């Protein structure tokens, strides 16, 4: 297998916001005298994605100009594709503490200063309009809209420099930056890499579509999201156990890489699918798996809207290629995983189980059937649910 040059990062350059060595030490020392802003969990996840290049070409929280073009046109003001504004929002009550054209310190909830930011934008947009464009609803029942309102009404934009490492306690072996994954892909001599985004345990349907992808590409990057999710989603630590057991028993070791995606979940459906794809291009992936109701929640989006949205961008605008899959199920007639494209079965012969249905089964003490979940995965989920109840 010939090792070609990996796909370019979005916008042509991988962003690196770290201040190294003496320069970083001086900046950290000076930051102690700056106005300090404690970051929310979502801010913290966004900060990590910005500074490590996951959100290239962003080098900070978006400006007012970029905010408006993203919301209206899914483009940065430069014309480059970008679908969701990555914003730093603060409550109006404290807005006067942070002045335009001044430098501020961004801090962890433990008080530790992590980064410095120059405020080049300070604005108060129409959040209802933003919600309608990004989430296709302004209902507070939508978790993304809820988070949007909770973060605050005043938006600060500006470039960031990281002056301290972001503290982590979990998944230390799997926190791979785009720089690291690109190095890994080259080392493994993978020219084509498909990324799989997930916020759920990988069930048989997911396993099926990822393995179809493996038939036609060199490597698979399983990249589960571990930032903030809904309270009823299965915790990231439990999901990671499931991924580890699956990879060790059911995937070829030399063709799969597992690394966490530090982003917070926005549940923005089609728009989030674009953002997820761009992030995976920055990791070095050439293909992105888009299944049923990608990044969806409730019935806010159509089943395949996240696939259709890719047609709104040219291959020059989005270099990464979407791999679209229909909903997979276990077919009792052929006794195998299938989709409507490959199975002659009728609806009674198809075992469909959604993540929601599985959560309900687990809450009621029922084990998901082997047609839906590998027994090792089911065991981990049952154990988690019984501990959660205790």
Instruction: Indicate which residues carry an active-site annotation.
Output: 199-200
CA distance 160 to 165: 14
3-state DSSP of 187-229: HCCCCCEEEEEECCCCCHHHHHHHHHHHHHCCEEEEEEECCCC
Q: How many C-beta atoms lie closer than 10 Å to residue 308's C-beta?
A: 13
Cα distance from N-terminal residue to C-terminal residue, the chain: 52
Tell me how far apart the alpha carbons of residues 280 and 191 are, in angstroms, rounded to a whole number.
14
Q: Which of 339, 359, 371, 380 is closest to 248 using CA atoms? A: 380
- C-alpha span between 66 and 274 (Å, rounded): 17
Angle, to 10 degrees, between the axis of helix 270-283 and the axis of helix 178-187?
A: 60
- H-helix segments, the chain: 21-31, 41-51, 64-73, 127-135, 143-151, 178-187, 204-216, 236-250, 270-283, 305-308, 355-363, 375-389
Q: Is 187 exposed, middle or buried (0-12, 13-18, 19+ CB in 10 A)?
A: exposed
**Could you write out the DSSP letters of every residue in 298-359?**
TTSS-TTHHHHGGGGS-TTT--SEEEE-PPPEEETTTTEEE-TTT----GGGEE---HHHHH
Q: Which residues of 51-88 are buried (b: 16+ CB within 10 A; e: fewer)?
A: bbbbbbbbbbbbbbebbbbbbeebbbbeeebbbbbbbb
């Amino acid at each position: 297998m010939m090792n070609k040059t990996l796909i370019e990062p979005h916008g042509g350059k991988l962003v690196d916001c770290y201040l190294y060595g003496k320069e970083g030490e001086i900046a950290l020392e000076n930051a102690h005298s700056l106005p300090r802003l404690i970051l929310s969990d979502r801010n913290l996840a966004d900060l990590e994605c910005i500074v490590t290049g996951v959100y290239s070409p962003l080098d900070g929280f978006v400006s007012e100009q970029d905010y408006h073009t993203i919301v209206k046109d899914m483009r940065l003001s430069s014309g480059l594709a970008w679908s969701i504004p990555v914003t730093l929002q603060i409550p109006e009550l404290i807005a006067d503490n942070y002045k335009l054209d001044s430098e501020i310190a961004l801090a962890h909830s433990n008080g530790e200063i992590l980064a410095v930011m120059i405020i080049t934008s300070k604005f108060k947009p129409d959040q209802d309009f933003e919600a309608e464009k990004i989430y296709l609803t302004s209902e507070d029942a939508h978790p993304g809209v809820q988070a949007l309102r909770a973060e605050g009404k005043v938006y600060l934009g500006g470039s960031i420099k990281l002056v301290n490492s972001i503290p982590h306690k979990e998944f230390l072996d799997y926190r791979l930056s785009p720089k690291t994954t690109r190095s890994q892909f080259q080392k493994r001599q993978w020219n084509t890499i498909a990324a799989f985004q997930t916020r759920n345990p990988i069930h048989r349907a997911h396993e099926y579509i990822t393995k179809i992808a493996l038939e036609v590409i060199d490597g698979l990057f399983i990249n589960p999201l571990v930032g903030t999710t809904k309270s009823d989603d299965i915790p990231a630590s439990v999901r990671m156990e499931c991924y580890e057991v699956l990879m060790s028993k059911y995937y070829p070791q030399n063709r799969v890489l597992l690394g966490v995606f530090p982003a917070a979940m926005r549940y923005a459906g089609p728009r989030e699918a674009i953002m997820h794809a761009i992030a995976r291009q920055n990791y070095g992936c050439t293909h992105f798996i888009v299944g049923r109701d990608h990044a969806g929640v409730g019935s806010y989006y159509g089943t395949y809207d996240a696939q259709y949205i890719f047609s709104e961008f040219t291959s020059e605008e989005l270099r990464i290629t979407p791999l679209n899959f229909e909903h997979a199920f276990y077919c009792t007639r052929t006794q195998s995983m299938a989709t409507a494209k490959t199975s002659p079965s009728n609806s009674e012969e198809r075992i469909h189980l959604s993540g929601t249905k599985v959560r309900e089964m687990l809450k009621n003490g029922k084990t998901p059937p082997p047609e839906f979940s590998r027994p090792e995965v089911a065991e981990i989920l049952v154990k988690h649910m019984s501990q959660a109840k205790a």
